[in-house]
Amino acid sequence: MRLRNRFATVFTAVAAVLLSGCTAPNPLIATHLNETAAFGGGVKLNPLQGKVITSWVDRRTAAMSTLTGNETAVRYARAGGGPAYPAGSTLSLATWGQVEDGRWFGARIPGAPRSVEIVTVSQDANGQRLYSYQKYEGAPLKRVVSREAGPADERLQFLISQRASVLP
Amino acid sequence: MANSSSAYRRILLRIGIAGVVVFAGLQFVRPELKNPEVTNELQAPPEVKDILRSACYDCHSNETKLAWFDQVVPAYWLVVRDVKTARQHLNFSELGAQPAAKQRAMLYEAINQVQLGAMPLAAYRRMHPEAHVSESELAVLRHYLETSTPQPEVSAAEVSAAEKQFSDWVAAGPASAKPPAAPNGIEFPADYRNWTPISSTDRFDNQSLRVILGNDTALKAIAENHINPWPDGSILAKVAWTQQKDGQGMVRTGAFQHVEFMIRDSRKYASTKGWGWARWRGTGLKPYGDRPSFSDECVGCHEPVQGNDYVYTAPIRGQR
CB contact under 8 Å between A21 and B125, yes or no, is yes
pLDDT at B320: 52
CB contact under 8 Å between A58 and B250, yes or no, is yes
CA distance A126 to chain B (A): 30
CB contact under 8 Å between B174 and A33, yes or no, is no
Closest among A92, A29, A95, A165 to B316, alpha carbons compared: A95
CB contact under 8 Å between A55 and B253, yes or no, is yes
Alpha-carbon distances, residue B311 vs B228, B229, B307 (angstroms): 9, 10, 9
CB A99 within 8 A of CB A111: yes
- Of the candidates B202, B205, B304, the beta carbon closest to that of A57 is on B202
Q: Can you give the pLDDT of all 168 residues of chain A as single tens digits?
A: 344 454 444 444 444 444 444 445 688 999 999 999 998 777 777 888 899 999 999 999 999 999 999 999 999 999 998 889 999 999 999 999 999 999 999 999 999 999 999 999 999 999 899 999 999 998 788 999 999 888 789 999 999 999 999 999
pLDDT at B208: 97
ipTM: 0.90
pLDDT digits (tens, 9 = 90+) for A64-74: 999 999 999 99
CB contact under 8 Å between B193 and A39, yes or no, is no
Q: Where are the domains of chain A?
A: 34-160
What is the CB neighbour count within 10 angstroms for residue A86?
13
Q: How far apart are CA A61 and CA B248, in angstroms?
A: 12
Q: Which residues of B touch A166 (CB under 8 A)?
A: 165-166, 169, 241, 253, 255-256, 283
pLDDT digits (tens, 9 = 90+) for A13-31: 444 444 444 445 688 999 9
pLDDT at A11: 43
pLDDT at B175: 65
Q: Which domains does chain B have, with CATH numbers?
A: 46-147 (no CATH), 156-308 (3.50.70.20)
CB contact under 8 Å between B241 and A165, yes or no, is yes
Closest among B136, B150, B137, B149 to B108, alpha carbons compared: B149
The interaxial angle of helices B100-115 and B135-148, nearest 10 deg, is 150
pLDDT at A1: 39
Task: Kindly state whether B128 is in contact with chain A, defined as any CB-CB distance less than 8 angstroms.
Answer: no
Q: How far apart are CA B243 and CA B152, in angstroms?
A: 10
CB contact under 8 Å between A29 and B206, yes or no, is no
Buried b (16+ CB within 10 A) or exposed e, A26-63: bebbeebbbebbebeeebebbbbebbbbbbbbbeeebb
Q: Can you give the pLDDT of all 320 residues of chain B as single tens digits?
A: 456 778 889 999 999 898 888 888 878 777 888 889 998 999 999 999 999 999 999 999 999 999 888 888 888 889 999 999 999 999 999 999 999 999 999 999 999 999 999 999 998 999 899 899 999 999 999 999 999 999 888 999 999 999 999 999 999 986 667 899 999 999 999 999 999 999 999 999 999 999 999 999 999 999 999 999 999 999 999 999 999 999 899 999 999 999 999 999 999 999 999 999 999 999 999 999 999 999 999 999 999 999 999 999 999 998 65
Q: How far apart are CA B170 and CA B94, in angstroms?
A: 44
Closest among B191, B201, B290, B275 to B233, alpha carbons compared: B275
Task: Kindly state whether B180 is in contact with chain A, defined as any CB-CB distance less than 8 angstroms.
Answer: no
- Please count the residue pairs, one from chain A and one from chain B, whose beta carbons lie less than 8 angstroms apart: 178
Task: Kindly state whether B112 is in contact with chain A, defined as any CB-CB distance less than 8 angstroms.
Answer: yes
pLDDT at B143: 97
Longest pairwise C-alpha distance within chain A: 99
